Amino acid sequence: VQAFLASSCLLLAAMAHRALVLQRHVLHGDVLVSGGIQMQATNASEDSNWADRVKSMAAWMASDRFKHTTRPYKPEDVVKLQGTMPLHFTGAKISEKLYKLMREHQANGTCSHTFGALDPVQVVQMAKYLTSVYV
């Protein structure tokens, strides 16, 4: 039992040492360890890109759609936590389309006739006749 405990302690110490070595390599930007990604310092174009992203996020957060939304964070906080690769989600595009449709109906004093669908086949069949279908 003591031999097993001693060997497991040595194994844990070796694993902890290896984790620290890897962390040091990644933090220093070693290309061999960080998966081929070379970490570089920021430059002026990245700073201006960040400022543009903050500006567009602030405009989006201040849009009419979110005028009644209170956020405990700033646009800078959101952009800081975003990745650098732009992501486009289909659900976000569809929700923008639905929001615009509902605002048009509100402005015109009309309504959107809709029914609920239980499966994708029903959605396809209803889509010809309705402006919105909920699933």
Asked whether the beta carbons of 53 and 82 are under 8 A apart, the reply is: yes
pTM exceeds cut of 0.85: no
Task: Kindly report, residue by residue over 70-83, the tens digit of the pLDDT.
Answer: 999 999 999 988 87
DSSP letter (8 states) at residue 132 = E
**DSSP strand pairing (132-134 vs 114-116):** parallel
Q: Is the pLDDT of residue 22 over 60?
A: yes
Asked whether the beta carbons of 99 and 65 are under 8 A apart, the reply is: yes
From residue 59, alpha-carbon distances to 21, 56, 90 in Å are 43, 5, 21
- Quick one: pLDDT band at residue 1, thresholds 50, 70, 90? low
Of 17-21, 41-45, 79-83, minimum mean pLDDT range:
41-45
Mean pLDDT of 119-133: 83
Three-state DSSP state, 133: strand
